[in-house]
Structure 1
Amino acid sequence: MPKYNKGYETKHRIIKAAKQLFYENGLDQTKIIDICRLAGIKNSNFRYYFDSKTDLANEISADLLVKTYHHIHLHHENSSKLDSFQQNAISGMLHYSIIFSDEKNIRYYYQVLRQKSVYDYANKNVERIYKQFIKDFQLEIPLKDLPYFKAADLGMRRQLSIEYIEESYPITPFDLSEKISTFTGRIFAIHPALVSDRIAYAREFATNTDFSNISYLKDL
């Protein structure tokens, strides 16, 4: 087996093992040594692929994001015509519905949320989405200020998600996603009518599409 393919296969085994253990035991109770044992690798080899459990959390978050966006492009007949906010709103609807459909997913996600450094790191790649907001809506936001917008948006998402879990709000994941997207629009000063229109469209699309094949931690 070529070295590249072997490395990819090993990384995949680590991610699969981590997801299984995170699902069964949660983030806090899972140790790197347990992941290595289940993946069938030496403990010393783990650092070749990941720096830490935080690095793995980022990989898992990125994987779910990719899956939701892939679903949009696969099942929307005119996905190329959707602007970045529409795509992000749809992705959010799918994202929160998938996470909050399973108690063990919720436990893991809550533990990620409670560790701000882990949550921030797990969302380190979102700036490219924000840059697309700026382009699509011609926002007068200097790129040097983008980290502040990122901090505000991620902080809002984290706080609302924690409250949703801790307070057991009697709203659906779609409602939570709608609330989050509304605040994101305010943070980036996108016109409220445009935001409202895109959220309504996102809810309609998410309601009428089958995304049960998308997994978070547990393989389907």
Structure 2
Amino acid sequence: MGKYKVGIETKEKIYESAKSLFYEYGYTNTTCLKIAKESGANVGLINYYFGSKGGLGIMIYDEIMNAYKNLVRQKLDAANIETTLLLQTAVEMRIHHQNIRMNKNFSRFYYDLLAENVIYKEHSVMTNFYDNLAKSCDLHYSDFEIAFITYANMGATQGANLAYDAGLIDCSSIDFVNASIHLLLTNMGLDQDIIAAVIEDSFKIEKKIKIHMEKNFCIL
């Protein structure tokens, strides 16, 4: 029991140290050696508990995305705003994009993950996301179709975000996130009228709820 408790504490120290370092210095500039030194653990334990630095990166990114989802749901309920999963997802995308633009530390972390293909490798997490979203719209795709939609959208999103960050796409932040939502819903095969309504309604809803990111990726 004692060894188990120590193991859990060590894992938590590694995770929290990585989160702090990723926020302050970015994903790319943070090495496993730095994480080990900060947490007081040896490098081998990082691989043991998380598989790799990438495993840590994706766990922290998933925590951020889940925090968005949970807080958006709480804010919507508190404001008595009824939404579908599709509309809530569009609102989350807007908030995510806003925090990328407003929080330079998060922006650096996010683009580091994109540049190193860390998010792209999370097959099960991403395919489950698209599968649930499709089913909420009464769209029933095969495993192949879900995988194809997932990676087609992820590839396009990754390329577009990196190009936008590099200044190769010249548009406003609002136009960019509108286009991102349009891309996702078009790839899912939704009607253009539905897509237009989701873009318009999610824009209005986002203005009614305030969610921002503070130090160490804390979502408030």
Matched-pair contact (CA < 8 Å) for 2:47–2:53: no
Alignment of 1:69-80 (within 5 A): 69-77=69-77
Residue 166 (str. 1) matches residue 166 (str. 2): yes
**Partner residue, 1:108:** 109
Letter in 2 for 1:145: E
Q: CA RMSD in A?
A: 2.6
Aligned to 2:91: 90
Q: Is the 8 A contact 2:50 2:56 kept in 1?
A: yes
User: What displacement does 1:7 show?
Assistant: 4.1
Contact 1:64 1:216 in 2 (8 A): no
Q: How many residues align?
A: 217
In structure 1, give the amino acid aligned to 2:99: I
Give the direction of change, closer, same or farther, for the CA distance of 1:138–1:37 in structure 2 (3 Å limit): same
- Identify if the C-alpha distance between structure 1 residues 93 and 32 changes in structure 2 by more than 3 Å, giving closer, same or farther: same
Preserved CA contact (<8 Å) 1:84 1:133 = yes
| Cα separation, 2, equivalents of 1:121 and 1:216 | 27
2:134 corresponds to which residue?
134
Q: 1:141 to 1:124 in 2, by over 3 A?
A: closer
**1:83 Cα offset (Å):** 2.2
In the alignment, structure 2 segments of 5+ residues that lack a partner are none
Amino acid in the other structure paired with 1:91: E
CA distance in 2, matches of 1:101, 1:23: 14
Contact 1:58–1:121 (8 Å) recurs in 2: no
1:211 matched to which residue of 2? 211
Pairing of 1:1-220 with structure 2 (within 5 A): 6-77=6-77, 82-116=83-117, 118-122=118-122, 124-167=124-167, 169-172=170-173, 174-212=174-212, 214-215=213-214, 217-219=216-218
Distance in structure 2 (CA, Å) of the matches to 1:146 and 1:79 = 32
Could you tell me which runs of 5 or more consecutive residues in structure 1 were left unpaired when the two chains were aligned.
none
Letter in 2 for 1:189: G
Query: CA separation of 1:93/1:123 partners in 2, compared to 1, >3 Å: closer, same or farther?
Result: farther
Query: SS in structure 1 opposite 2:185?
Result: helix
Aligned-partner residue type, residue 126 of structure 2: V
TM-score with structure 2 setting the length: 0.86
Contact 1:84 1:129 (8 Å CA) reproduced: no
User: Please, what TM-score do these two structures have when normalized by structure 1?
Assistant: 0.86
* Overall identity of the aligned pairs, in %: 19
Structure 1: distance between partners of 2:3 and 2:200: 48
Task: Decide whether the 8 Å contact of 1:20 with 1:217 is kept in 2.
Answer: yes
- Aligned-pair distance for 1:202? 1.5
Distance 1:216 1:207, change over 3 A: farther
